[in-house]
Chains A and B, each alone.
Chain A
Amino acid sequence: MSSLTAARALKPIGTAGSLFAFALDVGRAVFRRPFQFREFIQQAWFIASVTIVPTALVAIPFGAVIALQVGGLVAQFGAQSFVGSAAVLAVVQQAAPIATALLVAGAGGSAIAADLGARKIREELDAMMVLGIDPIQRLVVPRVLACMMIAVFLNGLVSIVGVMGGYVFNVIIQGGTPGAYLASFTALAQMADLWQGLAKALVFGLIAAIVASYMGMNAGGGPKGVGDAVNQSVVITFLLLFIVNFVMSAIFLQIIPSKSG
Chain B
Amino acid sequence: MGVDVKIEGLTKSFGKQLIWKDVTLTLPAGEISVMLGPSGTGKSVLLKTLIGLIKPDTGSVVIEGVDIASCSERDLYEVRKLFGVLFQDGAMFGSMDLFDNVAFPLREHTKKSESEIRNIVMEKMDLVGLIGAENKLPGEISGGMRKRAGLARALVLDPEILLIDEPDSGLDPVRTAFINQLFIDLNAQIDATFLIVTHDINSTRTVPDNIGLLYHKHLAMYGPREMLLSSEEPVVRQFLNAQTIGPIGMSEEKDADELAAEKDMGLPPLPPIPMQLEPSNGIPRKYQRPPGAWCRENGVTPPPGSFQADAAMAPGGMKADPTKAPH
Q: Which residues of A contact B (CB under 8 A)?
A: 118-119, 122-124, 126-134
* A131 and B89 form a contact (CB under 8 A): no
Nearest B residue (CB) for A123? B91
Instruction: Decide yes or no whether B320 CB sits under 8 A from chain A.
Output: no
* A131 and B104 form a contact (CB under 8 A): yes
Inter-chain CA distance A131–B150, complex, in Å, is: 12
Q: A123-B87, A123-B88, A134-B77 are in contact. Are A129 and B53 (CB under 8 A)?
A: yes
- Tell me what chain A mostly uses at the interface: helix, strand, loop, or mixed: helix
Nearest B residue (CB) for A129? B53
Q: Given known contacts A123-B88, A123-B91, A129-B51, what 12 new A-B pairs fall within 8 Å (CB)?
A: A118-B94, A122-B94, A123-B87, A123-B89, A124-B92, A126-B53, A126-B87, A128-B93, A130-B85, A131-B105, A132-B78, A132-B80
Query: How does the 8 Å CB contact mask read for B48-83 relative to A, with 1 for contact and 0 for none?
Result: 100101000000000000000000000001101101
> Interface residues of B, CB < 8 Å — how many?
23
Instruction: Decide yes or no whether B264 CB sits under 8 A from chain A.
Output: no
Inter-chain CA distance A126–B47, complex, in Å, is: 12
Q: Which residues of B are found within 8 Å of A124, using beta-carbon distances?
A: 91-94
Q: Could you give 27 example pairs across A and B, Cβ below 8 Å?
A: A119-B94, A122-B89, A123-B87, A123-B91, A124-B91, A126-B48, A126-B91, A127-B91, A127-B153, A129-B51, A129-B53, A129-B80, A130-B51, A130-B53, A130-B80, A131-B80, A131-B104, A131-B108, A131-B109, A131-B157, A132-B77, A132-B78, A132-B80, A132-B81, A132-B105, A132-B108, A132-B109
Inter-chain CA distance A155–B104, complex, in Å, is: 37
Inter-chain CA distance A128–B101, complex, in Å, is: 11
Inter-chain CA distance A124–B88, complex, in Å, is: 11
Closest-CB distance, B152 to chain A (whole angstroms): 13
Q: Which residues of A are found within 8 Å of B150, using beta-carbon distances?
A: 127
Inter-chain CA distance A122–B91, complex, in Å, is: 6
Q: Which residues of A are found within 8 Å of B94, using beta-carbon distances?
A: 118-119, 122, 124
Closest-CB distance, B300 to chain A (whole angstroms): 38
Q: Which residues of B are found within 8 Å of A131, using beta-carbon distances?
A: 80, 104-105, 108-109, 153, 157
B85-117, CB < 8 A from A? 85, 87-89, 91-94, 104-105, 108-109
Q: Which residues of A are found within 8 Å of B81, using beta-carbon distances?
A: 132
Nearest B residue (CB) for A130? B85
B251-300, CB < 8 A from A? none
Closest-CB distance, B108 to chain A (whole angstroms): 6
* A130 and B89 form a contact (CB under 8 A): no
Nearest A residue (CB) for B156? A131
